[in-house]
């Protein structure tokens, strides 16, 4: 048995904890680690991977002498660090082995203590490892490192954080000499690639443990009945969403501790807010990365202690953070990827030997079919391919400067360090020299021929760019009464939405903005449903292989091979039958053309469809001489055409695309589009050309692109987009199959599958076609809005709710008929009427006020209701009020539409 190989002291501690038998993972891994082998351990969540790595390392620490940091335990999340600290400290203290954690939140006193008296085991992040190289004392301590464990290695291997860590480990080896490497993961689709990433040019043994844990995952489609419809009206959401909430709550109530995973923070907040409106004493909490650290920890603790029975969460709880005993895992809508589902469902039955039990709840046919495919692949262990990107030049530039922080750097030795790491194994000397020359031209380093050293600006750059995660300025959300920090808002949300009196949702509660400050938003909690903050970079792409199997399911209708409940199967089957005989699938692309909208149904996933769409839009734009709009999802491309054309034009254009020319066509597209802009600014920041805090909207992109065209920076920006946003290899494969005639193309009439693509986003909480109950909830909100009634004749003001407005509205002071209905945050505009010389902008505001008063004079209470709408100014109100409506619902629906348009487009104004 593996435990018999361990030091008696370790076995005694394990026995004291009641652990007497090793898991399969521990049986396989412990002997190999004791033999000194580098290993990648792949095993399901909850079967003791951490102990598999650390028990033999603790054994070796006890058996060998040495000072300084003996072992580094690297994780991708600070929260995971915190969790590891608790678990390893408990074991370490019993063995007289010191364990500590160090990351961005570590107090200065604790850092100094670590420098003077280093722990045996240091838990840290890839970013903090960069800092450890800079301190003189810390570098000395690093000379003693003999073991490095990389937890959740799959989270790092394919991105720039991972490339930075891979180089960091080679820099560490140059200081400490060779050390043993152990990688841990629950989900790796390409184990050889990840093993290569972990070891660089060293051999890594793959230890893959087939789980004895039973995976019991079902796909459920909830029923929409009259009760659900009534609830939807109360919660201001689609009946389908309300049905999903009812079913989720029933499952949560039937279990002790349930995690409800969603794909975006927007959805987490929307669901949590509606559960709070449904029941203000709800025991369902919310957890995601934009909530403050204190609130996240408090929520985790409340869930652990079963004060909360359910927790709505994003990927923030996907990794192995200890949140107590979870006996069920739910997923709202498809998780998009197999690895995501395995990680998320693995949180249920987390203890050794427990069954993993969970469900995916969805209502839309595409979501249900995708969920069924992902569930089948998860149970069969068919994970997505994971590829490590070669030669990310942002990381090369970052690490070249980082290496210079400790003094002069010998170029030949540094090139050797880079090429020992897996991402840079094929780095050419010419590219290496070109990036050094670029850094010299920017002023970050001085090149002395055989070596180089940093500049003063290089030092600033290093500390500004410890992380390869994209920077976006964030604003603190602070409750005005308690001064408590509630969470954070992204700059893009603040810029596009936030203004005094605006209402938004975070932490599952509604908040009204009281004041905007330079770096924070002051808020007060209210009982209302507001807008959901928009967080960037959240959409999870659906891989090619998943979308293709959805196409295969459509074609074969082999539902018996998938674990969907009766209603799920009936919903998908009905959807397909309504489509007729030409069902788009893995072997058939269909085109639906209606006036100036073309829908190309193709089942090739987010990135392949996105790549083909951009090429098509560029070629059609060139052919028609006018721009073509494009939107995509994993199962279709929608083209907005400038004029009506025949289907043959689109078919010929698609068939003209050759697999060999995909990358060159995409490079042409990027040069002529604005798609490169945001990524280019990110790369420019990581190269040090632009300051870290520069607002990308203020950067002259055209001038910047012209200045750096032909340089490593420009090439990196292009490759960054092609790697992160598109799929060149997958697109070549699909186009090759079209060329060989393996995929057919047909023109069809309008179908249910095509129309589904014209609906708003699946995750949009407010429905496009609101039913009566939702409109009645809107009416109540509008009528309860307190307006500042403002006489434009005598400037008298008084407060009045829209529902209390008389049929004829007159000023109580002067009897004037011209009375504007202003929202509270506009009430001070009445003072503009007294100004002798108003500015041009103030004149426009005065004109809007008079138009507002004219509408109130002509339409009375109806005008006050329309003007109470969020973002409904006098122009929009005039259009709404002048319309002909058969009933009140149609009138309210127009106000709702105007509110949604305002919410979507406000960021583009001004």
- Tens of pLDDT, residues 74-118: 988 765 656 666 678 888 888 888 888 876 666 677 777 777 788
| Position 643 pLDDT exceeds 90 | no
pLDDT digits (tens, 9 = 90+) for 353-377: 556 778 999 999 999 999 999 999 9
Three-state SS at 689: coil
How high is the pLDDT of residue 530? 54
- pLDDT digit string, tens, across residues 853-880: 999 999 999 999 999 988 888 988 998 8
Helix (H, G, I), strand (E, B) or coil at 442: helix
Give the predicted TM-score (pTM) of the model.
0.75
CA-to-CA distance for 617 and 52, rounded, in angstroms?
52
2-208 in CATH: which number? 3.40.50.300
Give Cα separations from 867 to 470, 855, 892 (angstroms).
40, 9, 12
Say yes or no to pLDDT of 909 above 50: no
Q: How confident is the model at residue 794 (pLDDT cuts 50, 70, 90)?
A: very high
Q: Please check the confidence at residue 536 and state whether its pLDDT lies above 50.
A: no
Structure confidence at residue 535 (pLDDT):
43
Overall average pLDDT of the 4-31 stretch: 88
Q: How far apart are CA 654 and CA 743, in angstroms?
A: 12
Instruction: Convert the pLDDT of each residue in 698-744 to its tens digit.
Output: 667 777 878 888 899 999 999 988 998 899 999 999 999 999 999 99
| Confidence tier at 759 by pLDDT (50, 70, 90) | low
Backbone angles phi, psi at 350, to 5 degrees: -70, -25
What is residue 712's predicted lDDT score, i.e. its pLDDT?
93
How much is the mean pLDDT over the chain? Answer: 85
Buried b (16+ CB within 10 A) or exposed e, 582-600: bbbbbebbbbbbeeeebbb
Beta strand 509-516 with 520-526 is antiparallel
User: What burial letters (b/e) apply to 428-454, b meaning 16+ CB within 10 Å?
Assistant: eeebbebbbebbeebebbeeeeebbeb
User: How much is the average pLDDT of 509-526?
Assistant: 78
Mean pLDDT (whole number) for 212-233: 83
Sheet containing 786-791: give its strands across. 797-801, 786-791, 819-822
- Which two structure tokens, joined as six digits, stand for 265? 């923070």
892 Cα distance to chain centroid:
34
Decide if pLDDT at 209 tops 90. no
Task: Provide the 3-class DSSP secondary structure of residue 390.
Answer: coil
Sheet with 39-42, side-by-side order of all strands: 99-102, 121-124, 71-74, 147-150, 180-185, 39-42, 205-208
In this model, does residue 228 exceed pLDDT 80? yes
Q: In this predicted model, which residue has the larger pLDDT, 805 or 236? A: 805
Q: Which pLDDT band holds residue 68 (cuts at 50, 70, 90)?
A: confident
Helix (H, G, I), strand (E, B) or coil at 785: coil
Cα radius of gyration (the chain): 30
Higher local confidence (pLDDT), 133 or 470: 133
Where in the sequence of the chain do the CATH 3.40.50.300 domains occur? Answer: 2-208
pLDDT of residue 679: 75
CB-count burial class (<10 Å; 0-12, 13-18, 19+) for 835: exposed
> Exposed, middle or buried by CB within 10 Å (0-12, 13-18, 19+), for 692?
middle
What whole-number distance in Å separates Cα of residue 114 and Cα of residue 100? 8
Q: How far apart are CA 677 and CA 674, in angstroms?
A: 5
Average the pLDDT over 520-534 and give the result: 67
Q: Return the closest-CA partner of residue 290 out of 508, 38, 451.
A: 508
Which pair of structure tokens corresponds to residue 791? 């006489």
Would you state the pLDDT for residue 354? 55
Identify the CA nearest to 797 among candidates 780, 820, 781.
Answer: 820
What pLDDT was estimated at residue 907? 33
Token match 């009946």: residue?
Answer: 239
What confidence tier does 902 reach under pLDDT thresholds 50, 70, 90? Answer: low
Handedness of CA 623, 625, 627, 629 (dihedral sign): negative
pLDDT at site 766: 34
Q: Is the pLDDT of residue 204 over 50?
A: yes
pLDDT at site 762: 31
Question: Environment class of residue 544 by beta-carbon count within 10 Å: exposed (0-12), middle (13-18) or buried (19+)?
Answer: buried
Query: If you average pLDDT over each of 297-311, 801-815, 894-908, which comes out highest?
Result: 801-815
CA–CA distance, 674 with 672 (Å, rounded to integer): 7
The answer for residues whose C-beta is within 8 angstroms of residue 321's C-beta and 6 or more apart is 77, 79, 80, 82, 83, 300
- Please tell me the predicted confidence (pLDDT) of residue 540: 83
Question: What residue has token string 């975006």?
Answer: 264
Task: Tell me phi and psi for residue 678, to 5 degrees.
Answer: -65, -45
**CA–CA separation, 207 and 249 (whole Å):** 39
Buried b / exposed e over 14-34, threshold 16 CB at 10 Å, is beeeebeebbbbbebbbebbb
């Amino acid at each position: 048995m593996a435990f018999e190989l361990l030091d008696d002291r370790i076995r005694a501690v394990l026995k004291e904890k009641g652990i007497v038998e090793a898991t399969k993972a521990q049986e396989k891994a412990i002997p190999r680690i004791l033999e000194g082998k580098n290993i990648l351990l792949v095993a399901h969540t909850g079967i003791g991977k951490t102990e598999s790595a650390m028990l033999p390392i603790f054994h070796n620490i006890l058996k060998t002498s040495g000072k300084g940091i003996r072992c580094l335990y690297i994780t991708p999340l600070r929260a995971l660090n915190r969790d590891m600290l608790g678990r390893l400290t408990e074991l370490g203290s019993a063995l007289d082995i010191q364990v500590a954690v160090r990351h961005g939140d570590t107090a200065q006193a604790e850092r100094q203590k670590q420098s003077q008296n280093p722990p045996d085991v240091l838990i840290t992040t890839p970013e903090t490892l960069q800092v450890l190289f800079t301190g003189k004392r810390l570098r000395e301590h690093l000379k003693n490192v003999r073991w490095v464990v990389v937890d959740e290695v799959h989270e790092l291997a394919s991105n720039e954080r991972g490339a930075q860590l891979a180089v960091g480990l080679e820099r560490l080896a140059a200081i400490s000499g060779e050390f043993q490497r152990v990688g841990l993961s629950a989900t790796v689709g390409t184990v050889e690639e990840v093993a290569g990433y972990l070891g660089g040019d060293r051999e890594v043994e793959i230890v893959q443990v087939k789980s004895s844990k039973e995976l019991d995952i079902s796909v459920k489609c909830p029923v929409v009945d009259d009760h659900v419809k009534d609830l939807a009206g109360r919660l201001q959401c689609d009946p389908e969403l309300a049905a999903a909430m009812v079913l989720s709550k029933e499952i949560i109530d039937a279990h002790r501790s349930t995690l409800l995973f969603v794909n975006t923070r927007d959805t987490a907040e929307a669901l949590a807010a509606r559960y709070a409106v449904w029941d203000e004493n709800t025991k369902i909490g919310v957890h995601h990365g934009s909530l403050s650290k204190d609130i996240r920890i408090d929520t985790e603790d409340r869930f652990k202690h079963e004060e909360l029975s359910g927790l709505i969460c994003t990927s923030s709880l996907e990794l192995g953070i200890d949140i107590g005993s979870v006996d069920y895992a739910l997923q709202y809508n498809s998780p998009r990827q197999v690895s995501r589902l395995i990680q998320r469902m693995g949180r249920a039955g987390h203890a050794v030997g427990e069954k993993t039990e969970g469900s995916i709840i969805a209502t839309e046919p595409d979501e249900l079919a995708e969920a069924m495919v992902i569930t089948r692949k998860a149970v069969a262990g068919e994970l997505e391919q994971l590829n490590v990107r070669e030669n990310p030049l942002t990381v090369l530039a970052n690490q070249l400067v980082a290496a210079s922080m400790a003094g002069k750097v010998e170029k030949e030795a540094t090139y050797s360090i880079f090429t020992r790491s897996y991402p840079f194994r094929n780095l050419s000397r010419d590219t290496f020299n070109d990036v050094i020359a670029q850094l010299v031209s920017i002023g970050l380093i001085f090149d002395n021929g055989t070596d180089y050293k940093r500049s003063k600006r290089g030092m600033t750059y290093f500390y500004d760019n410890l992380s390869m995660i994209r920077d976006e300025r964030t604003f603190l959300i602070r409750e005005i009464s308690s001064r408590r920090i509630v969470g954070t808002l992204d700059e893009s949300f603040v810029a596009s939405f936030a203004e005094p009196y605006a209402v938004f949702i975070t932490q599952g509660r509604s908040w009204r903005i009281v004041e905007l400050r330079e770096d924070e938003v002051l808020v007060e909690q209210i009982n209302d449903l507001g807008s959901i903050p928009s967080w960037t970079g959240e959409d999870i792409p659906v891989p090619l292989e998943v979308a293709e199997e959805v196409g295969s399911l459509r074609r074969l209708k082999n539902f018996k091979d998938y674990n969907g409940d009766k209603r799920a199967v009936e919903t998908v089957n009905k959807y397909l039958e309504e489509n007729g005989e030409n069902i788009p699938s893995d072997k058939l692309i269909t085109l639906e053309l209606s006036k100036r909208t073309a829908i190309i149904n193709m089942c090739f996933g987010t990135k392949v469809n996105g790549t083909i769409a951009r090429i098509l839009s560029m070629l059609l734009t060139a052919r028609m001489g006018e721009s073509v709009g494009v939107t995509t999802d994993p199962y279709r491309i929608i083209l907005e055409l400038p004029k009506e054309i025949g289907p043959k034009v689109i078919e010929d254009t698609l068939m003209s695309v050759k697999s060999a020319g995909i990358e060159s066509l995409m490079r042409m597209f990027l040069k002529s589009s604005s798609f490169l802009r945001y990524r280019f600014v990110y790369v420019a920041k990581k190269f040090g050309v632009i300051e870290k805090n520069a607002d990308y909207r203020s950067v002259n992109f055209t001038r910047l692109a012209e200045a750096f065209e032909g340089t490593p920076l420009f090439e990196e920006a292009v490759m960054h987009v092609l790697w992160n946003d598109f799929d060149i290899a997958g697109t070549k494969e699909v186009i090759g199959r079209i060329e060989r005639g393996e995929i057919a193309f047909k023109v069809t009439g309008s179908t249910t599958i095509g129309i589904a693509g014209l609906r708003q986003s699946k995750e949009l909480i407010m429905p496009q076609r609101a039913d009566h109950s939702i409109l009645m909830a809107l009416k109540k909100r509008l009528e309860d809005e307190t307006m500042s009634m403002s006489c434009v004749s005598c400037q008298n003001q008084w407060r009045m709710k829209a529902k209390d407005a008389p049929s004829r509205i007159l000023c109580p002071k002067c009897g004037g008929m011209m009375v504007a209905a202003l929202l509270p945050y506009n009430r001070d505009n009445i003072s503009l009427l007294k100004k002798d010389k108003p500015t041009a902008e103030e004149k426009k505001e005065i004109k809007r006020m008079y138009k507002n008063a004219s509408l109130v004079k002509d339409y009375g209470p109806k005008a006050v209701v329309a003007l109470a709408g969020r973002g409904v100014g006098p122009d929009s109100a005039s259009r709404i009020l002048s319309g002909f409506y058969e009933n009140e619902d149609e009138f309210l629906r127009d106000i709702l539409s105007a509110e949604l348009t305002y919410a979507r487009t406000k960021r583009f104004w001004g």
